[in-house]
Every structure is written in C-alpha cells, then in structure tokens.
Structure 1
Amino acid sequence: MSKKNSYLGPLFIIGILFFVMGFVTWVNGTLITFFKKAFSLDNTSSYLVTFAFFISYTVMAIPCSMVLKKTGFKNGMSLALGVMAVGTLIFIPAAEMASYPLFLVGLFTIGIGLTVLQTASNPYATILGPRESAAQRISIMGIANKGAGIISQIVIGKILLAGATSSDPKEELDKVAMPYMILTAILIGLALLIKFSKGLTEVSEEEEDDSNQAGIHLNADKSSVLKYPNLVLGVLAIFCYVGVEVLAADTIITYGVSLGFPETEASFFGTYPLVGMLVGYFLGIVLIPKFVSQQAYLTFSAILGMVAALFAIYSPGFTSIICLAIAGFANAVIWPALWPLALHGLGKFTKIGSALLVMGISGGAIIPVAYGKIADSIKSTQHAYWIMIPLYIFILYFGLVGHKKKSW
C-alpha cells in the first residue's frame, strides 16, 4: 500500500468529523435570527449566540490540549463528540423553560466539545501527509465542513424560520426540540464509532518533524512556544480570520432581514457565503501547491476579502448580500493556509501550538458582538461591516511578512 493510500482512510474519518463540526457551527446564523425574534433581542444580545459558542475555544483550549496529552488524538475526538452531545441535549430543557441563558449554556458546551475536536483534528490532518500539501488536505476537510453548513442552514432554517410564526414564544421555541434530539443521537453514535474504529491510528507531534521536515528541528534551542513569532502572529491572524468568517456567514440572515427581505427568503442567505467557501476550497485543492503556494493564495484571499467587504458596505440591497458571499469565497483558503504556516517548525510544541491557534477562534465570539454593538450604536447593520477591514489588513500582513519571522 502506498503512503498516500495509507492515510486516505483516516482522512475520510476526519472528514466526517469536519462535517459534524460544520453542521453544528454554521447553524448559528439561523439561531441568531430565530432567537432574536423569539426573545425580542437587539443586535448585541442576539450575537451572544456566537459569543457563547466561540468563547469556549479561549476558555478551554489549553485544558483541552492537556486532555489530549492524556487521551491521544483518537480518544480525544470520541470524548469531544460526547461533550457536544451533552450541549445539544441542553437545548431540550432550554426550549421547555423558554430560557435564552440556558440555550447559551448549551452552545457553550457544544463549543467545549468542538474545542477538543478542533485541537485534535486540524493537526492530525496536517501531520498525516506532506507539509507542502497540508492546505490542500485541510481544504478537503473544509468542503465537508461547509457542505454540512449549507445542509444545516437549509434544514434547520426550514424548521425554525419558514412557515407560520406563532405569537407565543414558547410554541416557537418548541421547534428546536426535535432536530436537536436527533442531533444528540447522531453525536453519541459517532462518538462510539470513533472510539471503536480501527481506521484511526495515533500519531505524535514528533512525526510532523520526521515526515515533513526530514528530521530537521528548526530553532531547536527555543524553550517556549511563545518564542515562535510565526505561531504568535498566527494566533492573531486566526482571531481576525474567524471574526470575518463568522461575520460573513452568521450575520447575513439578520442583515438581510434588516434590509427588508422576508425571513423565509433571508433564511437561505446564510448558504451563500458557505457556497462561496466551497468554491474557494475546490480551487485550493486544484491550485495548491502545484500552481500556487498556500502563502500566495493567503495573500490573494486577504486582498479579495477586503475589496468584497468594502463593496458590501457601499452596495445596495441584494448586491451587498452577494458581496458577503464573495467574502466567503475569499475566506475559504485562509484557514487551511494559516495552520501549516503558523505550526511550521514547532516540533515538540505542535500540540500546545495547535491549542493556542484554537484559542484564536475566539475571534468568532468577540468580533460579531462588537459588530452588533456598532450596528446598534450607529443604527446601521451595513456600515458596521467596516470592522472587517482592519481584520483583513492583519491577515494580509501575516501572509506577506508575519509567517516568515523567526525571532522577535
């Protein structure tokens, strides 16, 4: 069996996990609009959905890396799915009690499970093959992730936002119970499948150096992970990236409603940036690394994202919506390109470095709430998208300069 075929099986299983991550992550855009109406929330309060979901990455990333050191990647993934199942199950009593805070607790718990899953699965996909094609492999994972997001937006959006709306908040919230009961059962089933799967083998962070760097340990004299500028700046770049990614995908439904589109029509807007990202991932698979480096694609993506954001701010109606979808296309390859550039040369620090990068996902918690606060303050959901511009500028800096820094 060739070396390539030897890791196709494990990558298929990892792809299933990325599908699950995408389904539970990208449904947040629908939940924001649904909870905003059901609980009569302002923009700032409604984006606590993303805050509760993504802040768990900052709170739990380091503890989760410690858990992974004890459990290994495989058992850690199984544990993560179990924790996510607890979070989805919390939605049932939250709907019964009509409690927005309890829904947020459920989202936070799901986020904890996803933190373990992200910390394990991203470096696993990176380490399994050659470093120069790592962005290509993670792009394939991204297709599974965003494809699941499109499905979740359509299915859950159809259940929660389409059809007649009850004047009784309790009746509206009851719509949540059945899909989240089914999701809980699926997560438990997957946890058991991963636990007893023989397709996933354990890998160590040292393999990243042996297989991808020909045994050469870069900067071997460094005693702290914080002495690697490419990692520290990579964490900040991940923070900025997840911020713009979540803004494009999770605010677009509420933004569409604020522009006057009916909820039934706006409920499909959340799929547009995800479709854009799917196209971007396919291009990444074809182009990286044969025709363009992951660093060059990262630079292009940051520039295109900035231009798309500017057009979204100043374009009318549906054109502005399409510009956010184009931002989704631009965002696609940023994530898979950032990971290998940020983790390059870390050796024994790979797991803790991965945990720090996962902490950067907290951009999805803080940036949308800041966007909501700006939108409420200036009374414009459209001009609040100005927050995206400096974020893209930093991503561009990392792609051009930051990832090359070897010392402070």
Structure 2
Amino acid sequence: MQTITTKKTSTLVPMIVVGILFFIFGFVTWLNGSLIPFLQLVCELNEFEALFVTFSFYIAYTVMALPMSIILKKTGYRNGMALGLAIMAVGALLHIPAAITANYAFFLIALFVLAAGLTILQTASNPYIVYLGPVESAAMRISIMGLINKSAGVLVPILFTSLILSDMGSFTEEALSGLSEAAKDQRLMELSHNLIVPYVLMAIALTALIGLVKFSSLPEIATSNSEPEESGAKTSIFHFPHTVLGAIALFFYVGVEVIAADTIGLYGSSLGVSNFAALTSFTMVFMVFGYLIGVTCIPRFVSQERALLGSGIAGCLCILGIVLSSTQSTSIADVLWGWTGIPVIPNTITFVALMGLAHALVWPSVWPLALKGLGNYSAQGSALLIMGISGGAILPLLFGKISHEIGDLQSAYWIGLPCYLYIFFYAIRGHAIRSWK
C-alpha cells in the first residue's frame, strides 16, 4: 500500500497545504458556472455551444490523467504539484488574449491548459488525503477538503458577479437589441475585457503558490512493493472491479455535479431570474452543508457506504423535483431562506441547487472504497478515478444538446436520474465486487 512518510503528529501542516490547494481547485473549477452564461453573451452562443466550456475543462482530466501520473512518478508529489501550478498559471495567462479578442476558441484552449495543470494536482492530492490517516476516516478528511473546495465555489460566483457583471443591466437582450451591430460588438468587447485583470491576478497567485508547495514541509507519498490485499493473478488495475466501477461512479457523479453547478445559471437566465450568474453559489452552499454532514458524521454515525447510499436516493428525488415542480412558485425557497432576505428562486431551480446537498458525499465516499486493497496498484487506481472526472465534460454537453434539441432546459435534467441510480448501485453492491466472475 501507499503511506505518508510522516508521523501522525505532523499531519497538520500537510493538511493545511493541501487544503490551500483544494481551495484553488474550487476557485478555478467553479468559476466555470459563472463563465458559461458570460461567454454565452460575449460570444453569442446557444446553450449547447456554451457548454463546451465544461467539455474543454473536464476532458483535460481524461486526456492528461495517465500522463500526469507518469510525471508524478518521476518528479515526486511535491515537485509534481509545483509543476501543476505552473501549468495552471500559463492557462490563466492564456485567458488574456482570449479576452482581448473575445474569441471563443481561445477561451476553450485556455480552459484546457488550466485544467491540465489542475489534473496533476488532483492526481496527487486525493490519494494523499486518503493515506494521511486511517482509511476508515478518509471520507471525513476528504469532506474537510471538500468544505474548503466548495467554500471557494460559494465565493467565486459572488466575486465574479460583483467584479465582472456589476453593470449587467446594460447588457440585457433588450438593451443590446437597440444598438447598431457595430455598437453592440463594441459593448460586448468591453465586457470581455473585464476578464483581463482577474486572470492576471490569478496567474500571480498561482505562481506564488508554487513557492509554498516547493518549500513547504509537505512529505512525500512512499509506495511500498506490497501486494494488493486481493492479490490472486491480478496484473492490471482493470482486474479490480470495485475500482473500475468506482471510476464509473465518479464519472456519473462529476457529470451531475457539474450540471448542478454550471447549468443553474443558464436555467435561471432562461426563466428570467435576476443575477443568474451568481446562482452557482446556491448549489455550492448546499454542497457545503453536505460536507459538514460528512465531517461530523463519518465514520462516527454513518459509514461511507451508508453516506453513498443516501446520496443516490436524495439525488433521484432532486431530479424528480426539478422536472415536476413549478417554474414560477418560490414556496420552497421562501421556507428555506426567504426569511433571511436572500433572494428567492423558483422551486425547480431550488431543486437544482439541492442537488449539491444530495451528492456532496459521493466524492469523499467513493475514493476510499475504490482504493481499498490496491497495494502497489494505488497510483494506477488514482489515475483511473481521476479519469472519471471526464463525466464533467461529456454529461453537461449531452445535457446542452438535449435541451437545445427539445427547447426545454427543465426536461433535460432527466439525464441526472440514471446517474444517481448508478451511484445507488455502487453503494449497495458495486463497491464490494472483487471479481468479474
């Protein structure tokens, strides 16, 4: 198996450093939810075209996961993390010419490079947290990292809206339709230029973090040559069904996670909800609540398997709520937070946000279950699980295609039902399968 070459009493510093990295994961990842409706406006895209943002970002995990795992073996985890941050800084800087030209293809290339750097950080950090303590409490530790990650997801849409879309009223369809074509192009170009300073600042912050990782006391993961617990004649990671099925579970999970976070703005915009670019924050807040449950209850009150089972059931209920509830009534939001003064949203959008609570514990539960007993196949298992993140590329794009073809965003959310049903299957059976026979 893999172990952290550090004493138990010295795990605080590694947790802090990796926690900072998880905040960066969240900041970069959940910016997409606000970027999609923004680029839809600036580049004049339909829903299907706009969701190529998620495709370009998340497909990098599929393309780069195995190459990055090879790089990690050669560089070690600390140097690999620093390299990942450097690649991300380059991706952030590539957004500058994209913003200057308002060219959608440039934006997609920049997002791919940004995600490529993020891939090496994810490949290193997730198994790192799993092996930083007892495997039985790994879901609790990953939940702590998830809290940090999703806290960034709460902040990003709010910051994006206040800094980039503060004068959004002058960019409505009605306001733009009254302008000549040249004047309209000029206004959209001005809006695109608003991205330049934020991405310059992001590149500076990422560069500064390279020093933190490079010169911190972050220990290495030592890989022993021990055989897997379920050894037999297994010579490939694909001989471990619970890991392969776990990667599929993450494929479906990341797909619905991205749909919940990155399409809620599009859905809100289609229903005329004000400040639609900030709606991702609602999904992230509910995910934070879900991770709080994981931190406090796993494994003390709820096992990782039970948490996963509950996620599958709750997700199915949310999908039914989205497609069957009102697009006008705000009764659920009135009860949940209307009394706080926070703007309420229609019931159907509330259920999209509640998907964040429903599936919050899938990621922290699947990782320890899927890596269990891999021995010296753990690195390959981690890379395979990271490749499951490609669900965030494919399923939202499929969602966009369906909604564009049928002209109904609400009905397109049916795509989430089989995803949650598979998560339910992995919770009750899939994680325990040790042989394909």
Counterpart among 168, 176, 179 of residue 198 in structure 2: 179
Check whether the contact 1:269–1:321 (CA below 8 A) recurs between aligned residues. Answer: no
Deviation at 1:133, TM superposition (A): 0.3
Check whether the contact 2:34–2:278 (CA below 8 A) recurs between aligned residues. Answer: no
Q: Who is 1:135 aligned against?
A: 139
Secondary structure class of the residue paired with 1:261: coil
Q: Who is 1:201 aligned against?
A: 219
Q: Who is 1:312 aligned against?
A: 322
Deviation at 1:219, TM superposition (A): 2.1
Q: Tell me if 1:229 matches 2:241.
A: yes
Deviation at 1:267, TM superposition (A): 2.3
Secondary structure class of the residue paired with 1:195: helix
Q: Who is 1:240 aligned against?
A: 252
1:270-285 alignment to 2 at 5 Å?
A: 270-285=280-295
User: What letter matches 2:393 in structure 1?
Assistant: A
Deviations 1:361-396 (A, max 9, x none): 000000111000000111101110000000111111
Deviations 1:295-337 (A, max 9, x none): 1110001100110111011112311111112110011110010
Deviation at 1:159, TM superposition (A): 2.3
Check whether the contact 1:272–1:325 (CA below 8 A) recurs between aligned residues. Answer: yes
Q: Tell me if 1:340 matches 2:368.
A: yes
Q: Who is 2:273 aligned against?
A: 261
Q: Who is 1:84 aligned against?
A: 88
Check whether the contact 2:228–2:375 (CA below 8 A) recurs between aligned residues. Answer: no
Secondary structure class of the residue paired with 2:218: coil
Provide the rounded CA distance (Å) in 2 between the counterparts of 1:220 and 1:296.
29
Q: Who is 1:212 aligned against?
A: none
Q: Who is 2:160 aligned against?
A: 156
Structure with higher Rg: it is 2
Deviation at 1:65, TM superposition (A): 0.5
Q: Tell me if 1:190 matches 2:202.
A: no
Deviations 1:241-267 (A, max 9, x none): 0000000011001100101213xx222
Check whether the contact 1:44–1:369 (CA below 8 A) recurs between aligned residues. Answer: yes
Check whether the contact 1:371–1:384 (CA below 8 A) recurs between aligned residues. Answer: yes
Secondary structure class of the residue paired with 1:204: strand
Provide the rounded CA distance (Å) in 1 between the counterparts of 2:412 and 2:228.
47
Q: Tell me if 1:390 matches 2:418.
A: yes
User: What letter matches 1:292 in structure 2?
Assistant: V
TM-score by length of 1: 0.95
Deviation at 1:97, TM superposition (A): 1.7
Q: Who is 2:434 aligned against?
A: 406
Check whether the contact 1:34–1:160 (CA below 8 A) recurs between aligned residues. Answer: no
Provide the rounded CA distance (Å) in 2 between the counterparts of 1:253 and 1:162.
16
Secondary structure class of the residue paired with 2:431: helix
Deviation at 1:4, TM superposition (A): 4.0
Deviations 1:215-264 (A, max 9, x none): 973325411110000011011100000000000011001100101213xx
Check whether the contact 2:38–2:277 (CA below 8 A) recurs between aligned residues. Answer: no
User: What letter matches 1:107 in structure 2?
Assistant: L
Provide the rounded CA distance (Å) in 1 between the counterparts of 2:80 and 2:425.
34
Q: Who is 1:363 aligned against?
A: 391
Q: Provide closer, same or farther for how the CA distance between residues 28 and 216 of structure 1 changes in structure 2, counting only shifts above 3 A.
A: closer
Deviations 1:102-132 (A, max 9, x none): 0100000011011101000000000110000
Deviations 1:185-238 (A, max 9, x none): 0000001211111x201012339x7xxxxx973325411110000011011100
Q: Tell me if 1:250 matches 2:262.
A: yes
Q: Who is 1:103 aligned against?
A: 107
Q: Provide closer, same or farther for how the CA distance between residues 174 and 295 of structure 1 changes in structure 2, counting only shifts above 3 A.
A: same
Check whether the contact 2:150–2:284 (CA below 8 A) recurs between aligned residues. Answer: yes
1:45-124 alignment to 2 at 5 Å?
A: 45-124=49-128
Provide the rounded CA distance (Å) in 2 between the counterparts of 1:123 and 1:259.
41
User: What letter matches 2:220 in structure 1?
Assistant: E
Check whether the contact 2:228–2:377 (CA below 8 A) recurs between aligned residues. Answer: no
Deviation at 1:156, TM superposition (A): 1.3
Q: Which runs of 5+ in 1 are unaligned?
A: 210-214
Provide the rounded CA distance (Å) in 2 between the counterparts of 1:394 and 1:50.
22
Q: Who is 2:337 aligned against?
A: none
Deviation at 1:149, TM superposition (A): 1.1
Check whether the contact 1:87–1:109 (CA below 8 A) recurs between aligned residues. Answer: yes
User: What letter matches 1:203 in structure 2?
Assistant: I
Aligned residues: 398
Q: Who is 1:9 aligned against?
A: 13
Provide the rounded CA distance (Å) in 2 between the counterparts of 1:205 and 1:285.
28
Provide the rounded CA distance (Å) in 1 between the counterparts of 2:299 and 2:7.
19
Q: Tell me if 1:39 matches 2:20.
A: no
Counterpart among 110, 132, 144 of residue 148 in structure 2: 144
User: What letter matches 1:248 in structure 2?
Assistant: A
RMSD: 1.4
Q: Provide closer, same or farther for how the CA distance between residues 298 and 383 of structure 1 changes in structure 2, counting only shifts above 3 A.
A: same
Check whether the contact 1:156–1:179 (CA below 8 A) recurs between aligned residues. Answer: no
TM-score by length of 2: 0.89
Check whether the contact 2:255–2:391 (CA below 8 A) recurs between aligned residues. Answer: yes
Q: Who is 2:334 aligned against?
A: none
Identity %: 46
